[in-house]
Amino acid sequence: SYELTQPPSVSVSPGQTASITCSGDKLGNKYTYWYQQKPGQSPVLVIYQDTKRPSGIPERFSGSNSGNTATLTISGTQAMDEADYYCQAWDSSTVVFGGGTKLTVL
């Protein structure tokens, strides 16, 4: 089965740029989606189709996807961005999620 691999944790200082990676075989040939989940809350879609931001998502969130790796980038990271982030892709007819990355802003 297809697997998406994320680092368990990433740390960033406020105001700096955070990069969260998601790796999978030929992932660049698929669209990647990113979700933010804060403790006790439902996930929120922050990036769809690799690079697009849904309405209401701040411009500091951006995405890229090439080769075997997709990346979620948060520019000028704020304390409110501290959360778990999950990547997602389709493998044939199946939705696959990455294991999630805990972003700590310190």
How far are the Cα atoms of 55, 86, 94 from residue 98, in angstroms, in the given order? 24, 6, 13
CB of 52 to another protein, least distance (A): 8
Q: Do residues 10 and 20 make contact, with C-beta atoms less than 8 angstroms apart?
A: yes
Under 8 Å between Cβ of 64 and 50: yes
Q: Which is nearer to another protein, 17 or 37 (CB)?
A: 37
Q: Which residues bind another protein (CB under 8 A)?
A: 31, 33, 35, 37, 42-45, 48-49, 54, 86, 88, 90, 92-100
Q: Smallest gap, in angstroms, from Cβ of residue 53 to another protein? A: 11
